[in-house]
A and B are shown apart, each in its own frame.
Chain A
Amino acid sequence: MALLDVGGVTKRFAGLTALDNVDLKVEAGSVHSIIGPNGAGKSTLLNVLTGSIKPDRGSVVFDGHGLVPLQPYEINQLGVARVFQSPEIFPELSLLDNVMVATFAARDGSYKLNLFEHPSRAGELRQFAEEVLVDVGLEEHLTMPAKHLSRGDKRRLELAVCLAHRPRLLLLDEPTAGMSQTETHSTVELLRKISATGMTKIIIEHDMEVVFSLSSRITVLHQGRVIADGPPAQIREDEAVQEAYLGGVHL
């Protein structure tokens, strides 16, 4: 059974059909890319998966749980984490505190009235948070406010915040957008490293080199509809994809 099963999801915004009867199955352990031209509905689909947009029709089932009626924090607690298109971090908090928020949320659940817990009690969590930061390549300036990081490093930090929760499904919205070639390269390496742990991932990406080097399966969206779905080799040869999305240019 698929880890994530999206069935017949439709979402309309004031006359515009952003998602039109979208089906998507994501197998556990796979790296599933969603590609498509701008406005194809990729980000809307991610918003539906994380609960920030409710679909007009259709179902989203993650590991046996229906996600549509749930709040974003409940979906995250089930094990779905998201890296946003422009990095969403806590700019005023230190790097370490950014990750500590996630480790506390993982330990305490969505709410706990632990008003008087002394920071010394969180030694183990702190160590874990530091390890996660090292994993994403941020081992320096742990007490510096996160707003001083470069854009690429903010993305790494956001990734660390997501990973600290040990998610089972990681959603990445254009993880290499706005990055230099070196940054892109190191991000891809990082994502590969995470894939080695068997974490399931959904990636939205424009950089085809990144898509084809990472993905085990690709779904192509066009005007809110799924026009192709299959392993990378099949997508590369698909006539409809080349016509609609790539404008007939061979990859």
Chain B
Amino acid sequence: MIAQLRNASPRREAVFMAVAAVILIALPWIMPYIGGYRELATRILIWGIFALGFDILVGFTGYLSFGHAAFWGIGAYCSGYYLLHANANALVAILIGVAVATAVAILLGYLTLRRHGIYFAILTLAFAEMFYYAALAPLQDWTGGDNGLTGIRTPELFGVKLDGDEMHYFVAAWTLLAIYFARRIARSPFGLMLRAIKSNETRLQSTGVNVYRYKVTAFAISGLYAGLAGTLYALYETYVPTESLHWTTSGEVVIMSVIGGFGTLIGPMIGAGIVLYLENVLSASTEQWLLIQGLIFMFFVIFLPGGVMEGLQRLADWGRKRHESATEAEARGAAPKGASAPTAPLRQRSQKG
């Protein structure tokens, strides 16, 4: 998957981005036909950006964070605060939210990436929870405490109110940018270093690479993506709930990534779509939809640890094999009766190779 991504020619990349653009823009019109609503599409894209950036840290670099709610929430609170008290300028709101979230990500990266595995995961979780409780009580004059930030005005872009479809186009543009840059990063020497970190840190150290700095950078990039998604969420909802800093937000993005498939960039975005879509459809008919979500999550972890992307890959492999054996059988059947004996085995061999 990633190997394919690295070898993509500029033309194929342009085609990919064009197809992605069509899908992202068409999504609100598709949603009502499959039991969703128009704004659900915007919501999916916002979470898709979050999951995409998360994949750069977890899927590529191999460090599972349980604290990315911190960057999502900080982005949301900062841009929400700006919209509430200063101005309706959407771009400035995003800039402020992303800048603060990224700065905090760099700082937390330096602190948490000194540890690996479970210790790293717990450190990130602990820091994110600190922000949650800080927002709840000590900082409630700024964060609105339990109520969150309410009454945020509708953001504007060059005088245009971002509402409904306009908001969706705005978010879709950011999503396209996010996808484009993530794919560039994945293909760059920097992306190769991240995959090398996941593969073998000892070898990378002994190959002259400052592993720690690369890890902090990957962490900061994923924090930037989470911050961007958080700011867009605040703009879209015109409301910042305290849950945006809660650990369940971190857990949600992990679930999305597992269902979509870590390390594939597009997979986690698809995972975000599946989770939010099911949440919407199932919660309408049953209150136990979290139970069903849990079952789906378990199914993927046990039977398809590579997520939807692995499933698609397997389907493609299976289809190709079927196609190959079909053409092989056809070739054998179509061979003229008088053909000399050795040709058939020869043909078979050449097809295998």
Q: Is A245 an interface residue (CB 8 A)?
A: no
Question: Which 5 A-B pairs give the minimum distances between C-beta atoms?
Answer: A76-B208, A90-B199, A110-B210, A88-B203, A77-B208
Please give, as numbers and ranges, the residues of chain A lying within 8 Å of B3 by CB-CB distance.
94, 143
- The 8 A CB mask of A144-170 against B (1 = contact, 0 = none) is 000000000000001001100100000
CB contact between A89 and one of B185, B200, B208 (< 8 Å): that residue: B200
One of B149-157, B189-197, B264-272, B292-300 contacting the partner: B189-197
Q: Which residue of B lies closest to A146 (CB)?
A: B199
CB contact between B193 and one of A72, A76, A104, A143 (< 8 Å): that residue: A104
Please give, as numbers and ranges, the residues of chain B lying within 8 Å of A90 by CB-CB distance.
195-196, 199-200, 203-204
A149 to B55: give the CA distance in the assembly, Å: 28
A88 contacts B202, C-beta separation under 8 Å? yes
CB contact between B188 and one of A82, A93, A105, A115 (< 8 Å): that residue: A115
B205 contacts A73, C-beta separation under 8 Å? yes
Known: A73-B211, A93-B195, A112-B189. 16 other contacts (CB 8 A): A76-B207, A81-B207, A84-B202, A88-B200, A89-B203, A90-B195, A90-B203, A92-B198, A100-B189, A104-B189, A110-B209, A111-B213, A115-B181, A115-B188, A119-B6, A119-B7
CB contact between B189 and one of A91, A114, A162 (< 8 Å): that residue: A114
Q: How far apart are A205's CB and chain B's nearest CB, in angstroms?
A: 19
Q: How far apart are B247's CB and chain A's nearest CB, in angstroms?
A: 30
B203 contacts A116, C-beta separation under 8 Å? no
B214 contacts A116, C-beta separation under 8 Å? no
A97 to B5: give the CA distance in the assembly, Å: 14
Q: Is A18 an interface residue (CB 8 A)?
A: no
A48 to B214: give the CA distance in the assembly, Å: 25
Please give, as numbers and ranges, the residues of chain A lying within 8 Å of B221 by CB-CB distance.
115
Please give, as numbers and ranges, the residues of chain B lying within 8 Å of A105 by CB-CB distance.
207-209
Q: Is B112 an interface residue (CB 8 A)?
A: no
Q: Is B347 an interface residue (CB 8 A)?
A: no
Q: Which residue of A lies closest to B203 (CB)?
A: A88
Please give, as numbers and ranges, the residues of chain A lying within 8 Å of B205 by CB-CB distance.
71-73, 76
Q: Is B38 an interface residue (CB 8 A)?
A: no
B185 contacts A115, C-beta separation under 8 Å? yes
Please give, as numbers and ranges, the residues of chain A lying within 8 Å of B181 by CB-CB distance.
115-116
Most buried by A among B192, B208, B209, B217: B208
Please give, as numbers and ranges, the residues of chain B lying within 8 Å of A119 by CB-CB distance.
6-7, 187-188
Q: Is A240 an interface residue (CB 8 A)?
A: no
A111 contacts B210, C-beta separation under 8 Å? yes
CB contact between B184 and one of A72, A91, A115 (< 8 Å): that residue: A115
Q: Is A106 an interface residue (CB 8 A)?
A: yes
Q: Is A108 an interface residue (CB 8 A)?
A: yes
Q: Which residue of A lies closest to B191 (CB)?
A: A115
CB contact between A101 and one of B7, B192, B213, B217 (< 8 Å): that residue: B192
A106 to B207: give the CA distance in the assembly, Å: 9
A73 contacts B208, C-beta separation under 8 Å? yes
B206 contacts A82, C-beta separation under 8 Å? yes
Q: A89-B200, A90-B199 are in contact. Are A118 and B187 (CB under 8 A)?
A: yes
Q: A88-B200, A93-B199 are in contact. Are A101 and B185 (CB under 8 A)?
A: no
Most buried by A among B6, B7, B185, B193: B193
A89 to B196: give the CA distance in the assembly, Å: 9
| 26 A-B pairs in the complex with CB atoms less than 8 angstroms apart | A73-B205, A73-B206, A73-B211, A76-B207, A81-B207, A88-B200, A88-B202, A89-B203, A93-B196, A97-B196, A101-B192, A101-B204, A102-B207, A104-B192, A105-B209, A110-B210, A111-B209, A111-B214, A112-B189, A115-B181, A115-B184, A116-B184, A116-B185, A119-B7, A158-B203, A165-B208
A162 to B202: give the CA distance in the assembly, Å: 13
A117 contacts B195, C-beta separation under 8 Å? no
Most buried by A among B204, B207, B211: B207
Q: Is A187 an interface residue (CB 8 A)?
A: no
- The 8 A CB mask of B1-13 against A (1 = contact, 0 = none) is 0010011000000
A114 contacts B190, C-beta separation under 8 Å? yes
A38 to B188: give the CA distance in the assembly, Å: 44
Q: A115-B185, A116-B185 are in contact. Are A88 and B206 (CB under 8 A)?
A: yes
- The 8 A CB mask of B229-268 against A (1 = contact, 0 = none) is 0000000000000000000000000000000000000000
Q: How far apart are B191's CB and chain A's nearest CB, in angstroms?
A: 8
